[in-house]
Structure formats: structure tokens, C-alpha cells
Amino acid sequence: MKQYLVDREKGEPGAAREALRWFYRTGRGVKQPAACGERPLVAPSPTLPVRRPSAPVVHRAAHPPSAATDLGRTPWERDLIKACREKGFLWRTEQTYREWAVRFATFLAPRSPYEVGGQETADYLSMLAVNQRASRSTQKQALNALVFFMQVALHRDLGKMEFRRAQHHVKIPTVLSQAECRQLFTGLTGTPRLMAEWVKSIGVARFRSG
């Protein structure tokens, strides 16, 4: 290439060099034919702004959720639902209170919850502890639900209620089997084994005496 320019410069100074420059500048934008199995070379295109997809349009359902149409079947249940929603209770809390109200109404039947007060509510709470052997947490949940149901929803004055409190469930201790006891005594020596044998003899004597 340099020799070519030297030879051409002798005849027309500067013309050959300018022609080569034009050739290279023009050739940069020409697409080259791709060989077999190769991707064709494409001149870079100017950067275009990326068009982001628009946010989907959220349409409201044609039918309201079940909570909007579930307004209860009896007057006392409708009053309870109204009170729960005015207080802004969660849906799960409303369901729990309604379940306790239905159980209480079943306990009172054929009387209506509008006709009773604190004594009947206390009787139901005592029944949970004595007859159904409910736990303390279950009885406390029923107490909160029924107090709200009677006083807030039905505007009934319960006064001071006296009822039987649920007791803590006593867990039965785990008892070692005979084989485990023998293995335990085998591993003991001296005074600890003497004390364990003494405790064992007392337990056996009490068991036999009834």
C-alpha cells in the first residue's frame, strides 16, 4: 500500500491518498456478504428509546366478594355483623365471633339472644368448662366474643358474671418402662443407687396397697 502511494504521488501529488481515504470512509457503511454459516455484518443502528409495556388495567370484578353480600340470616346475626364491620374487624375475627354467637344461640334455643343477659352467658361459659372440658384459651375466646356480641351488638347489659373457670390440663408424666428402670439402676452405684432403690420400694408399696 505504501509503495502504491509513492508511485501515484509522483504523477498526481495528493490525489491517490485522498482517493484511498474516501474509499475507506465509504466502505465502512457497506454491508459485507456473509460467508456460509456466518451471520451477515450489519451496520450499527442508532440507539432508540426502550418502550416499556404499560401497566395492566385492573378491572373490578362484576360480582362483589362474599363478605359484602353475607349479611346474616337472623336479626341478631345481622346486628353482630354490622358491629364487627363498624369496628373494622378482620374477616377471620368476624367469622370467629359469628361462630360463637351461633353456638350460644343454639344453647339458648328456643329463646332469642335478645331475651337473655349475664346469667345465661355465664351458664354457657360454665358449660364449656364443665361439660365440654374446654381449655382456658378456648373459654377466654368465647368470653370475648360473647361480651362483644351481647353488649356491643345487641346492647344487652351483662353486669358482673360469675362462671366456672376452665382449668389447666394436667399433662401425664412420662413413665420409664421396666427395662429402662433396670438399665438405670445398673448404671448407679453407691449412695445414688441406695436412694433410688429406696424410692422404688416406696413406689411399689404404694402401688400394691392401692
pLDDT value of residue 4: 59
Residue 88 inside a domain? The answer is yes
Task: Please give the pLDDT value at position 178.
Answer: 77
Q: Name the average pLDDT for the chain.
A: 78
Tell me the CATH number at 139.
1.10.150.130
pLDDT at 184: 79
With cut-offs at 50, 70 and 90, classify the pLDDT of residue 74. very high
Does some domain include residue 109?
A: yes
Q: 169 — phi, psi (to 5°)?
A: -75, 125
137-179 per-position pLDDT tens digit: 999 999 999 999 999 999 999 999 999 998 876 666 677 777 8
Rounded to the nearest 10 degrees, the angle between the axes of helix 136-147 and helix 91-108 is 90
Does position 110 have pLDDT exceeding 60, yes or no?
yes
65 domain residue, yes or no: no
Enclosing domain of residue 82: 74-153
Write out pLDDT tens, residues 169-187. Answer: 666 667 777 788 778 778 8
Backbone torsions φ then ψ of 48, nearest 5 degrees: -105, 150
**Is 27 part of a structural domain of the chain?**
no
Q: Please tell me the predicted confidence (pLDDT) of residue 19.
A: 67
**Into how many domains does the chain fold?**
1
Q: Kindly report the CA angle at 10 between 9 and 14, in degrees rounded to 5?
A: 25
Residue 193 lies in a domain: no
Residue 6 has pLDDT above 80, yes or no: no
Residue 124 covered by a domain: yes
- Mean per-residue pLDDT for 68-88? 91
Question: How far is the C-alpha of 97 from the C-alpha of 94, rounded, in Å?
Answer: 5
- pLDDT in the model for residue 197: 79
Q: Would you say residue 9 has pLDDT above 90?
A: no
CA atoms of 107 and 123, how far apart (whole Å): 10
Specify if 105 maps to a domain.
Answer: yes
pLDDT per position as a tens digit, 23-60: 666 666 555 555 555 555 455 555 555 565 555 555 55
What pLDDT score was predicted for residue 8? 56
Q: CA 143 to CA 122: how far, in whole Å? A: 9
The percent of residues in the chain predicted with pLDDT above 90, rounded, is 44
Task: Determine, yes or no, domain membership for 173.
Answer: no
What pLDDT is attached to residue 53?
57
